[in-house]
Amino acid sequence: MHTIVAIKQVPDTTHVRIDPETGTLIREGVPAVINPYDRHALEMAIRLKERFGGTVTVLTMGPPKAAEALVECVEQGADRAILLSDRKFGGADTLATAYVIAHAIAAIQVEDPADLLLFGKQAIDGDTAQVGPGVATRLAVPLITYAMRIESLDPATRTAIIHRRIEQGIEVLETTLPALLTVEKEIATIARAPLPNLVRAAHYRPETWDATTPVPFDPARIGIKGSATIVSKAFTPPRKEPGERMSVAESGLTRVVGQALQRLVTAGVLSSAPATAPRDESNA
Amino acid sequence: MTETPDLGAPRIWVLIEQDAGQVHPVSWELLGAARRLASELDGEATCVEAVLPGYGVRHLAAEAFRYGASRVYLLEDPVLALYRNLPYALGVSRLAQTYRPEILLIGATTLGRDLASTIATQLETGLTADCTELTIDPKLRILAATRPTFGGNLMATILCRKHRPQMATVRPRVLPLPEALPRGATGEILAVELDLREADLPVRRLRLIPGAERLNLEHAQVIVAGGRGLGGPDGLTLLRQLADLLGGIVAVTRPLVDAGWISADHQVGQTGKTVRPKLYIAAGISGAVQHRVGMGDANLILAINRDPEAPIFQIAHLGIVGDLHEVIPELIRQLQTLRAGDSP
Ligand SMILES: Cc1cc2nc3c(=O)[nH]c(=O)nc-3n(C[C@H](O)[C@H](O)[C@H](O)COP(=O)(O)OP(=O)(O)OC[C@H]3O[C@@H](n4cnc5c(N)ncnc54)[C@H](O)[C@@H]3O)c2cc1C
Ligand SMILES: Nc1ncnc2c1ncn2[C@@H]1O[C@H](COP(=O)(O)O)[C@@H](O)[C@H]1O
């Protein structure tokens, strides 16, 4: 069983702050992490390896620094890691990104065909959720997005049963393999990396592929050149007139809350009757 | 579909999303946007058209006409009875290769995101996801799709200059629902053969495990929302008490979902839901742009935050600078008193 996992290194958005003076992003000190969904995808691949034997390959397209993320994947249990890194890959939109990843996966498969391709459901830096579908489409393999459970998988008959979250509930799908799944976090809970992995990772250097070696990429389809979209402008959203503001420290708790309630009553947003609106069941 | 039809006027297409014969309202919201874009482009000359894939859905064309489509491409086939990526994408992509729309708009729903990415790849074109605004660039006369970006407190306007169609997805409730035309509004139905066989399709639905009753945040009148300032899952209990008193629903910012305190369907914002309640209470929420785009259209926003500089105060109609762990219990207490006074 060979599983290929695509991962992305992203800024940890929970540490991102906005400078209130300038309204811009404070980038300093924002750590880079593996896109959280991708870690769960990798964990799923490792579970499958434990069950069926075989290998797990991880790959990422990114700057040289993204090699750190790949080493972390080896710690977690990946066997082989490939960094697709070249200035010419830079500035890619999802169309060009998916081309590069699909082309690389096709090249890996020449020697070692994959049974399963795993992607995160989305990357938290841009949240486009387009790269996985783009790669599946280019490789002409079945696509299952928002996968949350692998009910069964049979490498011999090359079929799998996958649970997928949709608005109406959970869809149970049967697919042929190889297939590409984009996964939710529930797909697998992350276990602590065993010691031998840590030892191996300490000496591991990911392979680096650039735009020409070991496989040539079509120069017209990578980076900015291969992108269909461009950012024409970026701007801060227009500010509204600030509203009325009260301070507990200045006016006291009871008074401030009383005034606020009064305003809500005047605005007609408080029904004076107790709650009769549909209750939020999932609150319970 | 080999012959090229007379392409005539430029077209803007909207994908009509339906499940078991029920149209997702985002499709109508998009038809409204398409009409506006058409008139920004050149008024009468641009056609607004709908693409309707499914099985046994012909009757929905009439509704599409009422929301302004002049033509409906009806893709009906048993293999389209339930949504599946491949047959839906192939159907729409082939149609687009024949009729060459300038713009293709799709709802940013689970179905729409899955489908749009595949179509964009099949057509080798650009796709801008989760737009909050669609306009026509006055100089270039092409679609200008605006979405919030990670560049910080920023919005980015994205263009697709050379590739066609220009594709965009928009989340439900971001755009207003347009007025429907009176009954009797009509247009042309163009039925298109799909030419796919079930045996050739790699994915099959075995069953559906129905979800719990959907949490209807999008249409809630009162929302009591909390962010990291809640301090922990216990803070949510406080929010729920207030929400119950107000007949409202609890919502949260993304970090709370990421931390596993509450399920993702409670999240408001760019990657959560877009809401338009009468009252939105934002407690312990800083007001990052990704959150604001989901709730900025609420009629009345009451912010509670102990940091007077928090950006949420820039959009709040009413702000309380203070600790939510004091303010909310006091709100609950005074509300109960108020209510007790109301009843005889
Ligand atoms: C691509 C992308 C998509 C995103 N999508 C979303 C989205 O859909 N929805 C979303 O919400 N976020 C989203 N985010 C995250 C967003 O950028 C912010 O990180 C997030 O909204 C911040 O959440 P918060 O306000 O709860 O936390 P914080 O920014 O940490 O703010 C906490 C606030 O609580 C206040 N506070 C602390 N203690 C108290 C107290 N005791 N009493 C009163 N106030 C207190 C603090 O002053 C602070 O202002 C997205 C980010 C990215 C990059
Ligand atoms: N640069 C990249 N390198 C490798 N995988 C990527 C890259 N960008 C996106 N992906 C994969 O595609 C998924 C969806 O990303 P996105 O479409 O950017 O939201 C991620 O969870 C990754 O699995």
Distance separating alpha carbons of residues A136 and A120, to the nearest angstrom: 13
Give pLDDT, residue B270.
83
Domains B11-200 and B217-339 share a fold: yes
Distance separating alpha carbons of residues A186 and A148, to the nearest angstrom: 5
Q: Is residue A278 in a domain?
A: no
> Residues A207, A252: one domain?
no
Q: Is residue A226 in a domain?
A: no
Ordered alpha helix ranges (H), chain B:
25-41, 61-66, 85-99, 110-122, 233-246, 254-258, 289-295, 312-315, 324-342
Task: Report yes or no: A74 and A60 within 8 Å, Cβ to Cβ.
Answer: no
Q: Is residue A277 in a domain?
A: no
Question: Which whole number is the average pLDDT over B225-247?
Answer: 94
Q: Is residue A275 in a domain?
A: no
> Residues A137, A264: one domain?
no
* Strand pairing category for A25-26 and A169-176: unpaired
Mark residue B191 as left, alpha or beta (left: phi above 0; alpha: psi -120 to 50; beta: remaining): beta
Flag whether residue A224 sits within 8 Å of chain B, measured between CB atoms: no
- pLDDT at residue B152 greater than cutoff 50: no
Kindly report the CATH number assigned to the domain that includes residue A113.
Answer: 3.40.50.620
Which residues does A71 contact at the CB level (< 8 Å), separation at least 6? A81, A201, A204, A206
Enclosing domain of residue A251: 240-270
Give pLDDT, residue B24.
96
Residue whose Cα lies nearest atom 41 of ligand 1: it is: B323
Print burial letters for B277-316: b (CB count within 10 Å at least 16), e (below 16).
bbbbbbbbbbbbbbbbbbbbbbebbbbbbbeeebbbbbbb
Distance separating alpha carbons of residues A142 and A154, to the nearest angstrom: 16
Q: Which of B85, B105, B120 is nearest to B202 (CA)?
A: B85
Give pLDDT, residue A275.
41
Task: Report yes or no: A163 and A147 within 8 Å, Cβ to Cβ.
Answer: yes
Q: Which secondary structure element, helix H or strand E, spans residue A55, and what is its range?
A: strand A55-61
> Residues A130, A266: one domain?
no
Task: Report yes or no: B126 and A228 within 8 Å, Cβ to Cβ.
Answer: yes
Q: Which secondary structure element, helix H or strand E, spans residue A277, and what is its range?
A: none
Give pLDDT, residue B26.
96
Q: Is residue A232 in a domain?
A: no
Which residues does B336 contact at the CB level (< 8 Å), separation at least 6? B245
> Residues A202, A265: one domain?
no
Length of chain A: 284
The nearest CA of chain A is from the CA of B322 a distance in Å of: 5
Q: Which of B65, B48, B66, B52 is nearest to B22 (CA)?
A: B52
Please state the CATH superfamily assignment of the domain spanning residues B217-339 in this structure.
TPP-binding domain (3.40.50.1220)
Give pLDDT, residue A280.
43
Give pLDDT, residue B17.
98
Residue among B117, B158, B326 minimizing CB distance to A133: B117
Q: Per-block average pLDDT, block size 10, for chain A (284 residues)?
A: 97 63 60 94 97 98 96 97 97 96 98 98 87 98 98 97 94 98 95 89 96 97 95 74 88 95 88 45 39
Distance separating alpha carbons of residues A130 and A97, to the nearest angstrom: 10
Q: Is residue A97 in a domain?
A: yes
Distance separating alpha carbons of residues A281 and A110, to the nearest angstrom: 52
Question: Which whole number is the average pLDDT over B319-336?
Answer: 96
Domain ranges of chain B: 11-200, 217-339
Pocket lining for ligand 2, CB < 6 angstroms: A 6-8, 35, 37-38, 60-62, 94, 97, 101, 119-120, 122-123, 126-132
Q: Which of A155, A210, A160 is nearest to A181 (CA)?
A: A160
Domain B11-200 bears CATH identifier 3.40.640.10: no
Distance separating alpha carbons of residues A178 and A160, to the nearest angstrom: 9
Give pLDDT, residue A171.
97
Give pLDDT, residue A283.
39
Question: Which whole number is the average pLDDT over B196-202?
Answer: 95
DSSP string, A143-162: EEEEEEEEEEEETTTTEEEE
A276 C-beta neighbours (distance < 10 Å), count: 8
Which residues does A213 contact at the CB level (< 8 Å), separation at least 6? none
Give SS3 for B229. Answer: helix
Distance separating alpha carbons of residues B231 and B180, to the nearest angstrom: 46
Flag whether residue B62 sits within 8 Å of chain A, measured between CB atoms: no
Q: Select from A137, A241, A247 the residue whose CB has the most chain B CBs within 10 Å, as the one to mutate to test that interface.
A: A137
Take residue A194 and report the two structure tokens written for it: 């065993």
Residue among A138, A146, A263 minimizing CB distance to B110: A146
Task: Report yes or no: A159 and A150 within 8 Å, Cβ to Cβ.
Answer: no
Exposed (0-12), middle (13-18) or buried (19+): which is B211, by Cβ within 10 Å? middle
> Residues A260, A214: one domain?
no
What residues of B are in contact with residue A264 (Cβ under 8 Å)?
A: 279, 300, 302, 318
Distance separating alpha carbons of residues A271 and B246, to the nearest angstrom: 8
What residues of B are in contact with residue A149 (Cβ under 8 Å)?
A: none
Instruction: Match 């799998």 to its residue by tokens.
Output: A160
Give SS3 for B40. Answer: helix
Q: What is the dihedral of CA B305, B309, B311, B312, to 10 degrees?
A: 30
Distance separating alpha carbons of residues A40 and A109, to the nearest angstrom: 23
Mark residue A152 as left, alpha or beta (left: phi above 0; alpha: psi -120 to 50; beta: remaining): beta
- A256-260, B5-9, B139-143, B200-204: lowest mean pLDDT where? B5-9
Take residue A151 and report the two structure tokens written for it: 């009910």
> Residues A215, A252: one domain?
no
Take residue A168 and report the two structure tokens written for it: 């109406």
Question: Per-residue pLDDT tens for B10-23?
Answer: 999 999 999 999 99
Distance separating alpha carbons of residues B53 and A183, to the nearest angstrom: 26
Q: Is residue A113 in a domain?
A: yes
| Closest ligand 2 atom, residue A62 Cα | 1
> Residues A98, A31: one domain?
yes
Question: How many alpha carbons lie under 13 Å from residue A66 in its C-beta half-sphere?
Answer: 23
Question: Per-residue pLDDT tens for B266-311?
Answer: 999 988 898 989 999 999 999 988 899 889 889 899 999 999 999 9
Flag whether residue A264 sits within 8 Å of chain B, measured between CB atoms: yes
Q: How confident is the model at residue B338 (pLDDT cuts 50, 70, 90)?
A: confident
Q: Which of B138, B48, B157 is nearest to A229 (CA)?
A: B157
**What value does the mean pLDDT of chain B take?**
92
Q: Is residue A227 in a domain?
A: no
Statement: the pTM of the whole predicted model exceeds 0.90: no
Question: Per-residue pLDDT tens for B54-98?
Answer: 999 999 999 999 999 999 999 999 999 999 999 999 999 999 999
Biggest alpha carbon distance in chain B?
Answer: 76
Q: What is the dihedral of CA B306, B309, B310, B312, to 10 degrees?
A: 110
Q: How many helices (H) and strands (E) does chain B have?
A: 9, 18
Residue A249 to residue B321, Cβ atoms within 8 A? yes
Residue type, B16: I
Total count of domains within chain A? 2
Give pLDDT, residue A192.
85
Give pLDDT, residue B236.
95
